[in-house]
């Protein structure tokens, strides 16, 4: 009697739940008994949840190791696509087993003993690979089409704050707001946008107040709160296609725990927002709140304090104009005191294999902070410039072509939907339509009408009330006057907030410092002395060693 091994594989969690791998093993064991093969218990190799398009599978690796030792004579496999979905991998594995004198028997495929039978087996492998690619592409295109039609089914369940209502005879699937959870979502946005709490602080607040999560068995994590703040469904537009699959580039902890193997050969990466497909859902928060949270998330990427104990005025704004890397703060200690410097990341030897990529020198923090803050105060001496910028931005919002176009499109869609509803009601009154047909079509139309009107209101609110904001600009001069008087007393954190409202970034070069503002002005590239003492001559030790920086260039952009 020959000794044989068994190999079985399923690729998805659904197949695992349906126990199809058990049915494969049962069929293979039955075949082995019928053909008088002896199969040891530890020679039954299984890969559950592993794709046939990869070779790094734990069960297959152990089988190949056993084969290389010359211990196994025959391998029983259900069908060629269970060995691999790729024809090239099938040929590679078949030749490898054959080289060690091991036979492969597919019980759902004829044994390849002649050249014709080997050719047939190869064709089966190519067809299996083609079918897999065809299924993946059809599924992707089908989901994309349903998403464009506004079907909620393509989304993977409902996020926190909603309940997924399944499709019925009278209506399609839709999201239903869970009032208690919706209040928590609103509170989360309020804590982040208005109260200024960090994501970690919000998670602690939710746990301290005993607010249950969706599953009610775990605590709130930062990643959960972060996901809520980023989900556009809460403003009324759930999005399909936000991520795409790409080759995995980093071995994560779950992969290491599995021994370096993964049930998936790819990872998810975010797509461009222009590629997202919007699906109308009931809104929980206003558009402005969501957009403000989105802005703060982007700001946090740039200005996050992380392990910064003592804040600095120019943190996250300084950029090296030579290499493009950011500046970070470092320090050195003398016999008398501790001196802080801004240093370019590209000038650190230890960060790069071949040494530093930038030759710039560190810059004294205290002097550079004073110079830049003085330029900001000088800019704020012109209240007319601030007032004109506010008016310009209001006009930009009002004249925004995408906003106008979207409003017109929504108006046409609402009118068309209302006309369709009227036609259905007229048809029912004239006995041209049965009650069951009316019931099956009307809920979808009502839901679509409600979603469109909700989106129309959100878009319409983008047109800012110009008169109300103009009233605020009347007090601009008084506010700027008070700000200039208190400029020497406010803290570094408060100065940071003012600076980041007015400055995009600061480019550092060997002989110039360019401040790029967010406010347009006719004073472009105007040289400004930067000596803290008021003169035009700057000693080389002030900003950085053996360097003379003659002026600051101020660039203004919208």
Mean pLDDT over the full length of the chain: 76
Better pLDDT: 108 or 543: 108
Q: Which span out of 98-102, 163-167, 223-227 was modeled with the highest average pLDDT?
A: 223-227
Rounded to whole angstroms, the Cα distance separating 465 from 444 reads 34
Tokens (6 digits) for 98: 């054959």
Give the pairing type, strands 277-280 and 266-270. Answer: unpaired
Domain boundary among 276, 303, 330: 303
Closest to 324 (Cα-Cα) out of 303, 345, 300, 293: 345
What pLDDT score was predicted for residue 161? 92
Asked if residue 207 and residue 83 are part of one domain, the reply reads no
Asked if residue 405 and residue 384 are part of one domain, the reply reads no
In-domain check, residue 292: yes
Better pLDDT: 161 or 93: 161
pLDDT band for position 97 (cuts 50, 70, 90): confident
| Helical packing angle, 492-502 and 287-303, nearest 10° | 110
Question: What are the pLDDT digits (tens) for 228-266?
Answer: 999 999 988 888 888 877 665 555 555 555 555 444 555
Place of tokens 């509170």: 187
* DSSP letter assigned to residue 156: S
Question: What are the pLDDT digits (tens) for 40-92?
Answer: 888 888 888 787 778 878 888 888 888 888 788 888 988 888 888 777 777 77
Q: What does the angle CA 425 – CA 427 – CA 431 come to, to the nearest 5 degrees?
A: 115
Asked if residue 55 and residue 122 are part of one domain, the reply reads yes
Better pLDDT: 401 or 269: 269
pLDDT band for position 472 (cuts 50, 70, 90): low
Asked if residue 159 and residue 134 are part of one domain, the reply reads no
Asked if residue 201 and residue 298 are part of one domain, the reply reads yes
In-domain check, residue 468: no
Place of tokens 């409003």: 407
Least confident range from 139-143, 271-275, 288-292, 516-520: namely 516-520
| Helical packing angle, 287-303 and 222-230, nearest 10° | 130
In-domain check, residue 312: no
* Interval 181-208 mean pLDDT: 91
Q: Which structural domain, as residue segments, surrounds residue 101?
A: 2-143
What pLDDT score was predicted for residue 435? 82
* Interval 194-207 mean pLDDT: 90
In-domain check, residue 259: no
Asked if residue 127 and residue 30 are part of one domain, the reply reads yes
Domains in the chain, number: 4
Asked if residue 41 and residue 121 are part of one domain, the reply reads yes
CB neighbours (10 Å) of residue 537?
9
What pLDDT score was predicted for residue 220? 92
Asked if residue 329 and residue 273 are part of one domain, the reply reads no
* Interval 174-194 mean pLDDT: 91
Rounded to whole angstroms, the Cα distance separating 22 from 13 reads 14
What ranges in 56-106 are assigned the alpha helix state H?
Answer: 58-68, 80-83, 87-99
What pLDDT score was predicted for residue 432? 81
Is the confidence at residue 421, as pLDDT, over 80? Answer: yes
Closest to 6 (Cα-Cα) out of 37, 36, 51: 37
Asked if residue 97 and residue 168 are part of one domain, the reply reads no
Better pLDDT: 373 or 162: 162
Burial classification of residue 355, based on how many CB atoms lie within 10 Å of its CB (0-12 exposed, 13-18 middle, 19 or more buried): exposed
Closest to 36 (Cα-Cα) out of 70, 4, 6, 75: 4
In-domain check, residue 406: yes
In-domain check, residue 395: no
Is the confidence at residue 480, as pLDDT, over 70? Answer: no
Domain boundary among 143, 166, 192: 143
pLDDT band for position 543 (cuts 50, 70, 90): low
* DSSP letter assigned to residue 268: E
In-domain check, residue 289: yes
Is the confidence at residue 279, as pLDDT, over 60? Answer: yes
In-domain check, residue 325: yes
What pLDDT score was predicted for residue 403? 58
Is the confidence at residue 138, as pLDDT, over 90? Answer: no
Asked if residue 291 and residue 224 are part of one domain, the reply reads yes
pLDDT band for position 205 (cuts 50, 70, 90): very high
Is the confidence at residue 186, as pLDDT, over 90? Answer: yes
Question: What are the pLDDT digits (tens) for 402-420?
Answer: 556 667 778 888 888 888 8
Rounded to whole angstroms, the Cα distance separating 544 from 109 reads 77
Rounded to whole angstroms, the Cα distance separating 154 from 140 reads 10
Burial classification of residue 456, based on how many CB atoms lie within 10 Å of its CB (0-12 exposed, 13-18 middle, 19 or more buried): middle
* Interval 312-330 mean pLDDT: 85
Better pLDDT: 356 or 499: 356
* Interval 153-165 mean pLDDT: 87
CATH number reported for the structural domain that contains residue 30 in this entry: 3.40.50.1390
What pLDDT score was predicted for residue 202? 93
Residues contacting residue 417 through CB under 8 Å, at least 6 positions apart: 445, 448, 449, 452
Domain boundary among 143, 165, 184: 143
* Interval 355-373 mean pLDDT: 87
Least confident range from 107-111, 212-216, 378-382: namely 107-111
- Residue 245 contacts residue 266 (beta carbons within 8 Å): yes
Asked if residue 138 and residue 79 are part of one domain, the reply reads yes
In percent, the amount of the chain with pLDDT more than 70 equals: 72
> Would you give the distance in Å from CA 462 to the centre of its chain?
25
In percent, the amount of the chain with pLDDT more than 90 equals: 8
Rounded to whole angstroms, the Cα distance separating 558 from 552 reads 19
Spell out where 57-200 has E strands. Answer: 74-77, 103-106, 162-165, 174-177
CB neighbours (10 Å) of residue 158?
22
CA dihedral 184, 186, 188, 192 (to 10 degrees): -170
Tokens (6 digits) for 206: 């939710």
Share in percent of the chain as helix, strand, coil (round to 5): 50, 15, 35
Asked if residue 272 and residue 181 are part of one domain, the reply reads yes
pLDDT band for position 536 (cuts 50, 70, 90): very low
Rounded to whole angstroms, the Cα distance separating 124 from 407 reads 54
Is the confidence at residue 556, as pLDDT, over 80? Answer: no
């Amino acid at each position: 009697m020959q000794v044989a091994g068994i190999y079985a594989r399923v690729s998805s969690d659904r197949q695992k739940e349906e126990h199809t791998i058990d049915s494969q093993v049962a069929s293979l064991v039955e075949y082995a008994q019928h053909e008088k093969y002896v199969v040891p218990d530890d020679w039954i190799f299984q890969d559950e949840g592993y794709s046939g398009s990869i070779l790094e599978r734990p069960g297959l690796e152990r089988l190949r190791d056993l084969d290389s030792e010359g211990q196994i004579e025959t391998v029983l496999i259900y069908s060629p696509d269970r060995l691999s979905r790729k024809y090239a991998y099938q040929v590679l594995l078949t030749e490898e087993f054959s080289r060690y004198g091991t036979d492969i028997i597919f019980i759902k495929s004829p044994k390849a003993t002649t050249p014709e039978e080997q050719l047939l087996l190869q064709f089966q492998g190519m067809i299996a690979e083609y079918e897999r690619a065809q299924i993946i592409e059809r599924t992707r295109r089908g989901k994309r089409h349903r998403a464009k039609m506004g079907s909620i089914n393509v989304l993977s369940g409902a996020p926190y704050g909603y309940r997924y209502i399944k499709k019925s005879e009278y209506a399609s699937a839709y999201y239903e707001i869970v009032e208690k959870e919706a209040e928590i979502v609103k509170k989360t946005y309020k804590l982040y946008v208005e109260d200024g709490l960090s994501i970690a602080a919000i998670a602690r607040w939710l746990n301290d107040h005993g607010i249950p999560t969706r599953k009610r068995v775990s605590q709130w994590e930062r990643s959960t709160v972060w996901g809520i703040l980023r989900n556009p469904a809460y403003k009324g537009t759930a999005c399909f296609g936000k991520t795409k699959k790409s080759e995995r580039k980093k071995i994560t902890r779950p992969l290491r725990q599995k021994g370096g193997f993964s049930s998936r050969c790819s990872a998810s990466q975010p797509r461009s927002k222009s590629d997202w497909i919007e699906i109308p859902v009931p809104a929980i928060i206003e558009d402005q709140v969501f957009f403000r949270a989105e802005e703060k998330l982007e700001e946090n990427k740039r200005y996050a304090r992380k392990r910064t104990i003592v804040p600095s005025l120019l943190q996250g704004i300084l950029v090296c104009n030579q290499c493009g890397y950011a500046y970070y703060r470092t320090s050195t200690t003398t016999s008398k005191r501790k001196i802080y410097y801004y240093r370019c990341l590209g000038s650190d030897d230890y960060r790069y294999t071949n040494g530093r990529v930038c030759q710039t020198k560190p810059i004294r923090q205290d002097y550079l902070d004073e110079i830049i803050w003085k330029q900001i105060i000088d800019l704020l001496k012109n209240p007319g410039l601030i007032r004109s910028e506010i008016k310009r931005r209001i006009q930009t919002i009002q004249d925004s072509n995408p906003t106008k176009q979207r409003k017109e499109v929504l108006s046409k869609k609402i009118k068309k939907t209302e006309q369709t509803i009227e036609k259905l009601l007229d048809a029912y009154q004239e006995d041209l339509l049965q009650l069951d047909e009316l019931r099956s079509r009307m809920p979808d139309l009502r839901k679509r009408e409600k979603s469109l009107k909700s989106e129309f209101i959100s878009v319409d609110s983008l047109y800012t009330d110009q008169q109300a904001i103009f009233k605020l600009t009347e007090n601009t001069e008084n506010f700027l006057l008070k700000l200039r008087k208190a400029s020497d007393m406010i803290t570094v954190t408060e100065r940071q907030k003012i600076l980041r409202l007015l400055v995009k970034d600061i480019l550092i070069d060997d002989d110039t410092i360019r401040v790029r503002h967010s406010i347009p002005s006719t004073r472009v590239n105007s040289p400004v002395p930067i000596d803290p003492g008021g003169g035009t001559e700057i000693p080389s030790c002030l900003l950085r060693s053996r360097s003379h920086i003659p002026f600051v260039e101020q660039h203004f952009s919208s």
